[in-house]
Every structure is written in C-alpha cells, then in structure tokens.
Structure 1
C-alpha cells in the first residue's frame, strides 16, 4: 500500500514456459501460444519497447527479460512529450489526451495546460519504475498545479510504501473554479509540475510517466457549496459465491470492466491488475480483494496485497493493504459515500474523491517480496464488488466534459461491465486461435525442413552397395 499526502487550496478534495525459453523461431511461436497475456507479448519482437518507456534505458536485454506480468500497459494512442526543467519551455498537454513521458532521478518536470475560466481541470501522473528497482518507503512522486503567478492550486504526494515493491503509482492535481479558491479561477496557462521524490539508496534509473488530463464543465445553476449530509458509513457485507473468472488489465487504459459481483483472477508477485466499475450519481461502491492461501512456503511479506480505488480522473480516493503469511488474506476498502457532486466540498480524500459519476478504477497489486517466501505463483485472487443505491440524474452540466462522457455512466458502460469478461475471454481465444493457426503452419514448415535435412544426413552415412 502506497503512502500519500495531499494539500489543496480548494478542498473541493507468476509451470508455463518462460519467454526467454522461446529463443528460436518455431519455439518462440509455440511459447507465445502457451504464454498468457502480457507474457505472450513479451515473447514477440518489440514487446519490451511496448511495455517500457523510451529514453529511460529500459530497451536492453535486462528489460526484455524482466517479468512480463509486471509490465504496465500504456495507452496505445499516448503522445510522447518531454517535460521541461522550467515553465518557459513546458510542453502543452490537452484535456482528453494521454501522454507518455519520463522522470529521471531527482528531476522536476513541467507541463502546461491552457484553461478557460469556468471549467474544472484535472491531471494525473502515473509513475512506472522498472521491475526490480530498489525503492525505499519514501520514494514516490509529487504533482502540483500552479498558476502563471506561482500560486499553488493543488499539491499531492504518493509513495510506494512499506512493501518497497515497484508498481505503478498515481498522483493527481486540479485547478478548480470553486468560489473558495479565487486565485486559481482565471483563464490562461497553468503549469503541472511532476517531481520525483527519492531516497539516497534508490535505483538511479528513470521512471516512465503516463499523463492524462480532463476538464469538467460548470453547472447550469449553482448547487450546494458544502459537503452533503451524513451518509451510511457502515461496512456492507461482502458478496459471497465462487464467482466468475475475469483477469484484470495491465493499466488504466486496459482496465477490465466489471459490475457488481464476485470475480476471480490470477496474480503473480510484482503484478498489478486494473479493473473499472461504472458508478452513477447516487450509487455507492464497495470492494474487497482476497489473496488465496499458498500451498507451501513460510514467512511473512509486509504489505503484500494492496487495493486502491481511483475515481474517473484517476485520482486515488483511498487504498488499503495487508501482509501475507501463506494463509488467505483480505484487503477491504473503507466505506465511501454515494457519488454526489457536493462531495467535493468535504475535507477527507475518501469523500471528496467521490465527486462525479463515471468509471471508478480498482487497482490490485501483489508485492514482489511475496515470491521470496512463497514462490512465483501465480496466486488466486478474488475480487468482490458491490454497487448499492439507485442512480439519479446528475447536477446539470452547462457544457460537455473532455473527454466526452467522462463524468457519467452510459448504456455502453453498463453493457461493457456486464459482458466485459466474456468479451475479454473471446478476444483472448481469437488471438490464441489465430496464433495457433500461424504457429501450426510454421511448425509444419520447420518439421518438414528438419525431416528432409535428417534424411540427407542419414543417406550420407549409408554405404553404397
């Protein structure tokens, strides 16, 4: 579980063949067919480049042989930008787009947003250290948003926590137009500052960054400007049942949609799984993640399993974590309120993060240290998701969000959550079938060449009578 600090001016607040064994052409195809998900991608040429960042020293044999299950899947349409050392040359990032960048050790990178005077603007930065990186408890990133006059609109810090396990961490910033924050309400340039926080004994390699920005329009009429009335904060009973299999994605852009239910997956040490749940206005989300018992091994892994909740702009609402001693353990999110616009006026992150409808993200990470005592896995994971309450109309936006429908739940969102697992399994089977056809063809060719060659060698050894 990562550690986080935040300050806001406006408190609107792992049996299977390894990829390395797949060295020859036919073997590579066979192994790629046998390897699941990201590992299959790692067996293909160029997979390391797709999983690791440019300009960070990751394009080498060490990176290529790194655990594919721990790779972060960046958005396919992400644009590459280079953060500037100061505001003068800060590159523009636009709402509705995703960007890739990098953050060297001890660096502070500046990016620019051009904002109107009425929209709320949100930006998130996801830092991805290389698997195997040496991290301390305090290592992390800090994200702040500043006006052209150096006034601070928001600031948040997130760290990797006690497990010291390399995994994606996300911090966010905002420029809100709340009446309580007049210094950050004007139109013009605003600067997003992403700073790396390092300890003296941390790995020197650069971290990849994924940046995403969004804007939320103003309202057609002024609503409540204070936190909502007390809400039911009792922890609901978790859903029961064995559940359906639904493997999580490897990044925010690949998050697998789920609805209320019990979902099973496999997770390996060092791996992070992403899910997304549509939560409409007035609905209340709760979730638990259960790590199954181990068949062998002894010891105790600190902060082994972590579960984090992020809202539609990827801002972390809350997180929790548990240690692991080989027996089943459950990480349960603390109760959060129903989604309401006025939640933004609350003081605590757990309340003000539930400020708009949309896709909420559940991010599960299994620490690398689990492998030291209990093996490479994979381990069984059970995710129990509950969405309570009746949906109601939103607050009435005066314009369109960027990206469109970012702060709402559509029929397509609900359908994706209902059959996303089946669609994902179908996609995987189609890919495997296509790969199998190609692999079979190649294997037949290779076997034919091998047989002919063997016959020629045998013929050369037979004496002529």
Structure 2
C-alpha cells in the first residue's frame, strides 16, 4: 500500500509548473475583450493643474491617467543636455460617447520658463467617432532644434484636451509613455537636410494569397504584420490595432478595404472608416478615411518617405515623424454610425501592407532599444504574434522545459527509490533464510 501511494504522488516541481501554466495571462475565460487593452505594467499617475505639483515620469515607463473636458494637466520629466526625449499620450474616450470634429489632444514639452520645446495635436477628424488617438512631443538636441530646451534640468509635459459643448463630458483615459533616443555613432549622419522627394506611386498589390489575422485592441497587444494582404473583421465602434516592423531606409504603404454589407441597406455614411499610422514612439503620422454605402470601399495612406534620421529636419509632421526604425502602428476604426443602417454585426476588412527597400544601417551607438528592427521582430511579423502573445509563448517554453526537467528528476528519483527498495528486500531475505535440514533460523552474531 505504501508503494502504491508513493507512485501516486507528484513532484512539487511538476505541481508548480502546472500551476504556472494555469496562471499564464490570457488563459482565463473573460466575458469579452476590453475596448482598449492598457499596458498591464502601466503605473497610475495623476496629472496636476499646476506645474509645481506635477508628478515625475521615468524614462522607459508607461503610465495611466485621465483628463476631463477642456482639461490641462501637467507632468514632469528630468532631462540631460545630450539626449533626445519623447513623451506621448494616448487618449481613450468612452466608446459609447460622442466627439466633435475638432475634439482632440495636444501634448507639449516646456522648460520651467514655459518656453515650448515642441508641441503636437491630434483630433478625431471629420468622422466624429470616438477612438483611441495619440500625440507626442519631443525635446531634441543639436541641429534643427530650438535654442531653448537644451539644458539639463526638469521640464514640464502639458497634456491638453479640447472638447465641444456637444461632446460627451466623461473623462478620457490616458496612456503616457516617456522614451529616450539612443546616442549617435561618431558625429552622426552626414546628411542634415530633409528629403525633397521619394517614390510617390502606390506599388502593385503583393503577389500572395490573403491570410487571416485578427487585430489587437491597443498598441500594447497590436497584431504583428509583414508585407501581404490580411483579412479581418470589424464591428461598428471597434478599433483594430496592427504593427509593422519598418527598418532604416524602408518605406511603408498601407491601404484597407471594407467589404460590402449583406444587410441590403444602401445608406450613405461619410467617413465611416478611418485608417491611421503612428511611429514607434507613438507619435501620430497620418490618417485617411472612406465613406460607405453598403458597397465595397477602399482607402490608402498617401505615400510617405523612407524611414531616415534626417526626416526630423522637415517641417511637415508627416515627414518628420518617420525619423526612426522600429514598430509602426496601424489602427482601423469603424464608426458606430454604421450600426444605425447596417446593424451591429462585424464587416469583413482587408488590410494591405507593403514594406519596400532593403534595410540600412542604424545610426545609433550601442543598444537602440525600441528604435530598431531585430530578427525577433521579423519572426513576430511572420507569425502574427503580438508582444504579449510572444511573451506568453516564451513563458510556456520555460514552463515546459521546467516541467520536463522536473519530470526527469521524478523518474530518476523513482528509479533510485525502486533500486534501493529491492536491495533492502534482498538483504532482509538473506538474513532470514532457513538453514538446511530444517535447523533453527540463523541469527546475526551466532
């Protein structure tokens, strides 16, 4: 009986491995995906109405906050006199609320004399549909930079919300990021002027069969894409997020097609769908929209320049934002107004992505951080994994290896235990053997 109970026991390491698998993110059965998946590592921070009370943001960290109608909130960053810095704010209004044409978010970085280092504004556009939008500001050093904001010290980050009186008054959630750009090699790039022209014709569609990939709900869980045609579906009021690795010297093209509706309705809806592109620091680059009347409709981002360090010297935000390599984010939003005429069911969506040109060398010295395209990034684009999905897969591999190791230890332990038990049994049998001719049992020491 004891031997049978021993065989039924599970090694503690195996139990721990099984528990770890059960506790992995994404394993629980949730009621449904959230409207926007905030980074789970984001720290809560409260914006201040005065810069004197502003909380300090740390480089490389993500934060959650919120802002009310026509709010002006201060945060603070500490900068040196050699590093370029970027602070972005993703504004997430309630999906069932309403926004007006000029509603939007403005982010600026200022020195303590309130001199503006840079400022950027993004609005919801003529679609007037609530969706996550992002804006970023930067403090840059050297050529093309302001003569102010060059010193080491504390700087204010001001986030401003603009809302019309007819818009929903609820607070918008904010997701804040503060990142720093790596230092340049040697004296940096020799070209210090922005490009004047680039290939402006849209290339022919990729010669490949469309494949299914479901978009994410935020920048955090955006689905990775490479060059190709990607089939998804989108419901009214929903935003799908994708990300594409674009290296130095490469040029990204993107378009999307909203399929025909099976409802039979033909109502015209202006700006029914919006396609948006943002850079690795989550600075907004460009967007485009399409109108819908129940038939298939398409829209494309206008051709943009290849990614280059010198793009930052251009006055156009659409050019200057293509200043570094890394993950570029595409988001597609279908207006909730579509549901009024075509129902709440999802509509098929096909997004075409093309990345042209061979990658060039990085201008940075040392680890480029998020401003690079790695072999791992290319693998994720090939597989379609999001960042959390890739992390989950890596965790599963570690857990599987641990479980395998624990299982091996268990088998070896059981083998050793069995061998020891057999030796003890043999020794006991030898001690109690009957002597020949039926004599008395032999005893030790006799």
Judge same fold: TM > 0.5, yes or no.
yes
Whether 2:194 is the aligned partner of 1:230: answer: no
Whether 2:350 is the aligned partner of 1:382: answer: yes
- For residue 229 of structure 2, the aligned residue among 251, 262, 277 is 262
For structure 2, the residue ranges without an aligned partner over 5 or more in a row are: 1-25, 397-446
Using the TM superposition, give the Cα deviation of residue 399 of structure 1 relative to its aligned residue in structure 2, in angstroms. Answer: 5.0
Whether 2:156 is the aligned partner of 1:191: answer: yes
Give the conservation status (yes or no) of the 8 Å contact 1:238–1:288. Answer: no
Q: Alignment partner of 1:252: what SS?
A: coil
Q: What are the equivalent positions in structure 2 for 1:48-447 lying under 5 Å apart? A: 51=34, 71-180=35-144, 181-220=146-185, 221-223=187-189, 224-228=191-195, 230-239=197-206, 241-296=208-263, 297-395=265-363, 397-398=364-365, 400-401=367-368, 405-420=369-384
Give the conservation status (yes or no) of the 8 Å contact 2:122–2:284. Answer: no
Q: Distance in 1 between matches of 2:183 and 2:366?
A: 7
Q: Distance in 1 between matches of 2:29 and 2:345?
A: 17
Q: Alignment partner of 1:183: what SS?
A: coil
Using the TM superposition, give the Cα deviation of residue 139 of structure 1 relative to its aligned residue in structure 2, in angstroms. Answer: 1.2
Q: Distance in 1 between matches of 2:389 and 2:292?
A: 30
- Using a 3 Å threshold, how does the CA distance of structure 1 residues 150 and 424 change in structure 2: closer, same or farther? closer
Give the conservation status (yes or no) of the 8 Å contact 1:118–1:217. Answer: no
Q: Distance in 2 between matches of 1:160 and 1:340?
A: 28
Q: Alignment partner of 2:165: what SS?
A: coil
Using the TM superposition, give the Cα deviation of residue 141 of structure 1 relative to its aligned residue in structure 2, in angstroms. Answer: 1.2
Give the conservation status (yes or no) of the 8 Å contact 1:245–1:421. Answer: no
Give the conservation status (yes or no) of the 8 Å contact 1:246–1:421. Answer: no
Give the conservation status (yes or no) of the 8 Å contact 1:163–1:369. Answer: no
- Using a 3 Å threshold, how does the CA distance of structure 1 residues 305 and 40 change in structure 2: closer, same or farther? farther
For structure 1, the residue ranges without an aligned partner over 5 or more in a row are: 1-36, 52-70, 432-465
Using the TM superposition, give the Cα deviation of residue 230 of structure 1 relative to its aligned residue in structure 2, in angstroms. Answer: 2.7
Q: Alignment partner of 1:344: what SS?
A: helix
Task: Indicate the RMSD between aligned Cα atoms, in angstroms.
Answer: 2.4
Give the conservation status (yes or no) of the 8 Å contact 1:216–1:400. Answer: no
Q: Deviations along 1:62-110, whole A, 9 cap, x unmatched?
A: xxxxxxxxx0110011000000111111111112111100001121110
Is the radius of gyration larger for structure 1 or structure 2?
Answer: 2
The alignment's TM-score, normalised by the length of structure 1, stands at 0.74
Give the conservation status (yes or no) of the 8 Å contact 1:302–1:323. Answer: yes
Using the TM superposition, give the Cα deviation of residue 186 of structure 1 relative to its aligned residue in structure 2, in angstroms. Answer: 1.2
Q: Alignment partner of 1:254: what SS?
A: coil
- Using a 3 Å threshold, how does the CA distance of structure 1 residues 383 and 40 change in structure 2: closer, same or farther? farther
Using the TM superposition, give the Cα deviation of residue 42 of structure 1 relative to its aligned residue in structure 2, in angstroms. Answer: 3.5
Name the count of aligned residue pairs: 364
Q: Distance in 2 between matches of 1:80 and 1:353?
A: 28
The alignment's TM-score, normalised by the length of structure 2, stands at 0.77
Q: Deviations along 1:10-32, whole A, 9 cap, x unmatched?
A: xxxxxxxxxxxxxxxxxxxxxxx
Using the TM superposition, give the Cα deviation of residue 40 of structure 1 relative to its aligned residue in structure 2, in angstroms. Answer: 6.2
Q: Distance in 2 between matches of 1:251 and 1:274?
A: 6
Q: Distance in 2 between matches of 1:309 and 1:256?
A: 14
Q: Alignment partner of 1:182: what SS?
A: coil
Q: Deviations along 1:419-444, whole A, 9 cap, x unmatched?
A: 1259969x89xx9xxxxxxxxxxxxx
